Amino acid sequence: MTSTATTQPPYLGIGSAQNHAQGAEVLAVEPNSPAEKAGVKVGDIVARFANQPVASIEDLQRLVRATPIGEVARIGVLRAGKKVTLEVTLAAQAAPAAKRKKLSLDVGDVSEVLERKISPVSLAS
């Protein structure tokens, strides 16, 4: 039987990026993500990932997808004009907190609707 972790794509946690002449410029880093834990910062330009050149966001996405969950990969970034090498351990992405909260709110909403429907019947008896 296959576990959920092995069927999920690897997760780096760069929230958004844009193409840059020297790679993929980081515009957002997700909190508590592998990227944040590795020290990736907004404004970094990812020029290498797992010893491979990164020329675009698509390159970075392809290289992350090709790296197994749990594997340590080196990220070469340009930060304020200097080359910095970071190490990141890719993870499986957890379910977003918003979905978990929405599920509990949906259950609450259903309970309120049921309570409204039952209350008039109880008062009439």
Q: Are 99 and 88 members of one domain?
A: no
Task: Give yes or no: residues 24 and 58 share one domain.
Answer: yes
- Beta strands 45-49; 52-53: pairing state: antiparallel
Domain that holds residue 104: 95-125
The gap from C-alpha 95 to its chain's centroid, in whole angstroms, comes to 10
pLDDT digit string (tens) for 1-15? 444 444 788 999 998
| Same domain (yes/no): 81, 39 | yes
Q: How many domains does the chain divide into?
A: 2
Q: Tell me the per-residue pLDDT of 66-80, one tens digit each, with 9 for 90 and over.
A: 999 999 999 999 999
**To which H or E segment does residue 119 belong?**
helix 97-124
Angle at 61 between CA 56 and CA 64, to 5 degrees: 125
Per-residue model confidence as pLDDT tens digits over 41-66: 999 999 999 999 999 999 999 999 99
Confidence at 26, pLDDT banded by 50, 70, 90: very high
Two tokens at 98?
A: 């918003």
Q: How confident is the model at residue 8, as a pLDDT?
A: 81
Q: Express the helix, strand and coil content of the chain in percent, nearest 5 each.
A: 35, 35, 30
CATH number, residue 79: 2.30.42.10
Distance of alpha carbon 62 from alpha carbon 57, whole angstroms:
9
pLDDT tens digits, 70-115: 999 999 999 999 999 999 999 997 765 554 444 444 444 555 555 5
| Higher pLDDT pick, 125 / 47 | 47
User: For residue 34, what are the contacts with CB-CB under 8 A and spacing of at least 6?
Assistant: 11, 12, 13, 88, 89, 90, 91
